[in-house]
Amino acid sequence: MTSLTGQTASPTYDLEPYQSLDNDVLTERINIVRAEMGPRLLILGHHYQQDEVIALADLRGDSYQLSASAAGDENCRAIAFCGVHFMAETADILANRPERLKQRNGRRVTVILPDLSAGCSLADMAEIDQVEDCWEQLAAVIEVDDLMPITYVNSAATLKAFCGRHGGLVCTSANARAALDWAFARRRRVLFFPDQHLGSNTARAMGIPLSEMPVWDPHADELGGNSEEAVRKSRVLLWQGHCSVHQVFLPEHVEQFRRKYPGIKIVVHPECRMEVVDRADVVGSTGKIIKAVEAAAPGTQWAIGTELHLVNRLKHEFPEQQIHFLSPMVCMCATMYRIDLAHLCWSLENLAAGTPVNVIEVDDQTAAGALLALERMLQVK
């Protein structure tokens, strides 16, 4: 289980008064805490965060990159993760792994999530009891000793620990193919969760046909809604889960942009539907999307299929290019959006006062299993 410490019994500062302050005041107060704590504090800002939060981040990036960078910082003693729950869990696991604790004489790095309601709908689509039930059902049909579990980094620590215990690993959108290659070098089949689209897009690019990729519905009564024959024939068992942001992009959006802007480049995240990925010019992780835009010539036209805050930030940072959001609908990560300056200021001032709130601390047993899976991820090339 993941142990969460929410608001302390009597926090020095209550949240409500912060919510009436304007951003300039909140920014000034946040910067006072930053100056007071100096290098002991790292504020991490995920790419999908609001601009005013990103402006105050010491590090900006994707979830694993941020966690790894913060965990390797010798001076860091506290992390404010402006992201979502599973990201803060990963930061806690890496920053407080045994060798790092030993170096700090047992002193933990405190990891806080400014708003505990900042979760991830994708991560929530696979729960540990569902995955364990799936494994038990599969064991009645196939040899699970020949089945490799892989969890996307967008998942709870308990799922990462499950993979660690069963010889599996974690992957990111950037190294999903390498993770599958690593798995197939060791076992015949893969159970990939929780993102169906990342799994199917990656496996199909490796030449695995869809007929060998049944989808496991965790709410179905038996075998995830599949026949025993389909399970036995499988190479990759996909979990029925998706990112609510990337699910919104449709093939017709791609066609509309191509008709309106001849020559436009379509770039999408691999969490998008297969029909969208098939029509794109560039498919890749958040980092790859950013690099593609950075490397493009002035005047390049893009339609980008990923989170709205990031697309708008790219428009601002590269005004010499013409950048469009791929969907006509507003589509942002609503849970990420919960992290605002009011929550950040409130949590930082409590941290500085010695009454930290919203502390994320993964229990030792879960952290040990998850760390195994994360370390295996680093083995893949």
pLDDT at 333: 60
The second-level CATH assignment, the architecture, of 123-243 is 3-Layer(aba) Sandwich (3.40)
CATH fold, domain 246-325, is Rossmann fold (3.40.50)
pLDDT at 8: 44
Question: Across-strand partners of 44?
Answer: 59, 81
pLDDT at 5: 41
- By the 8 A CB rule, do 26 and 18 touch? yes
Sign of the alpha-carbon dihedral angle for 352, 353, 354, 355: negative
- Does the pTM surpass 0.85? The reply is yes
Q: Which residue has the tokens 């790092």?
A: 100
> Which phi and psi angles does 299 have, rounded to 5°?
90, -10
The SS3 of residue 352 is helix
pLDDT at 381: 66
pLDDT at 328: 77
pLDDT tens, residue order, the chain (381 aa): 344 444 444 567 889 999 999 999 999 999 999 999 999 999 999 888 888 999 999 998 776 777 788 878 899 999 999 998 999 999 999 999 999 999 999 999 999 999 998 878 888 899 999 999 999 999 999 999 999 999 999 999 999 999 999 999 999 988 999 999 999 999 999 999 999 999 999 999 999 999 999 999 999 989 999 999 999 999 999 999 998 888 899 999 999 999 999 999 999 999 999 999 999 999 999 889 999 999 999 999 999 999 888 999 999 999 999 999 998 766 556 566 689 999 999 999 999 999 999 999 999 999 999 999 999 998 886
pLDDT at 9: 42
Alpha helices, DSSP H only, in the chain? 23-37, 51-54, 63-71, 85-95, 98-103, 128-139, 157-165, 176-184, 196-205, 228-233, 251-260, 274-277, 286-295, 308-317, 341-352, 364-379
Between the alpha carbon of residue 378 and those of residues 12, 109, 133, 231, 370, the distances in Å are 41, 22, 28, 29, 13
Where are the domain boundaries for CATH 3.40.50.10800 in the chain?
2-119+336-364, 246-325
Single-letter amino acid code for the residue at 1? M
Q: 2-119+336-364, which class in CATH?
A: alpha beta
pLDDT at 244: 83
pLDDT at 330: 63
